[in-house]
Amino acid sequence: MSNPKKQIIMNEITFWKQNKMLPEHYCDFLMSLYSEGNNQEEIEGKSKNAVINVEKRKNRNLSMFFPISAFVMLLLLFTMQFEWVVIAVAAVFATGCLIGAIYFAKRNHLMAVMLQLATALAILGVTLKVSTTYFAGNNEMLYIILIVNCLFWLLSGVMLKIIYFTISGVLGLIAIISAWIYFL
């Protein structure tokens, strides 16, 4: 087997060992098998550096997502001349966050949670903007849109077993229905 292929396999074995995907003695056996009994500590050091460099690169790319998206959203909020542009960009952002949450949920739990929350808040913002733009002064429509958002959170929380969406949906429904009844 060629040397680059061996190095890739040894990098993977080191990654498995670091993340406890295989028992340590299995990883040691595989590492000695692929290194053909050569200096295992030196090879593991190179593999660890390769794994760390890949993880740093991924984290750097993900850390740039939030400042850029926050800047774009703030820029859009202050340019209210074309409201349909704001609504369209926010809808695309919400869709992108939802797709990103599905993709990152398998790899990074914290990133998935942040994207799920960003998606929920972006959808809430888009629906509120649509409500205030097209149904200005119609409080019943505002309450209905808020109730639909809370039902969406509640259903998402129950179906995906996400406790913070379930709690947010229930508390939001209670607060909105109570306010609607109180102000009638």
Question: What is the DSSP annotation of 23-55?
Answer: -HHHHHHHHHHHHTTS-HHHHHHHHHHHHHHHH
Give the residue with greater pLDDT, 183 vs 151.
Answer: 151
Counted domains in the chain:
3
Digit-coded pLDDT (tens) for 140-167: 888 999 999 999 999 989 998 889 999 9
Task: Report pLDDT for 153.
Answer: 92
Among 61, 90, 110, residue at a domain's last position? 61
Across the chain, what does the average pLDDT equal?
Answer: 75
Quickly list H helices, 106-184. 109-134, 139-160, 163-183
DSSP SS3 for 4: helix
Task: Report pLDDT for 17.
Answer: 79
Of the given ranges (13-17, 58-62, 70-74, 154-158), which has the lowest mean pLDDT? 58-62
Task: Report pLDDT for 15.
Answer: 78
Statement to judge: residues 42 and 82 lie in one domain: no
Give the residue with greater pLDDT, 161 vs 68.
Answer: 161
Q: How far apart are CA 64 and CA 95, in angstroms?
A: 18
Q: Are 169 and 155 in contact (CB under 8 A)?
A: yes
For residues 86-110, average pLDDT:
71
Among 43, 61, 79, residue at a domain's last position? 61
pTM, two decimal places: 0.49
For residues 4-33, average pLDDT:
78
Statement to judge: residues 10 and 48 lie in one domain: yes
Domain span at residue 92 reads 65-118
Statement to judge: residues 42 and 15 lie in one domain: yes
In a domain, 139, yes or no: yes
